[in-house]
Amino acid sequence: MRVVVDFDLCESNAVCMGIAPEVFEVRDDDFLYVLDETPSEDLRPKVEEAVRRCPKQAISIED
């Protein structure tokens, strides 16, 4: 699994960070950082929830 973020769509609202802080982080500069682009499969449910709940639909998963 590979996490992909469309940074042109992303508003750095931190919804994803609240769901999967192991994978996503919004820092003091108000930009989203992907901490782990290829997280382990045990994080898939959290990443899938982050994809679903992203208000701008900026996150996707490539298998």
pLDDT band at 60 (very low <50, low <70, confident <90, very high): very high
**Amino acid residing at 11:** E
Per-residue pLDDT tens over the stretch 10-32: 999 999 999 999 999 999 999 99
Closest CA to 61 of 45, 26, 31, 19: 45
pTM summary value: 0.95
CATH fold for the domain made of 2-62? Alpha-Beta Plaits (3.30.70)
Query: In this structure, are residues 49 and 20 in contact, taking their beta carbons and an 8 Å threshold?
Result: yes
Q: How confident is the model at residue 40 (pLDDT cuts 50, 70, 90)?
A: very high
Position 55 scores a pLDDT of 98
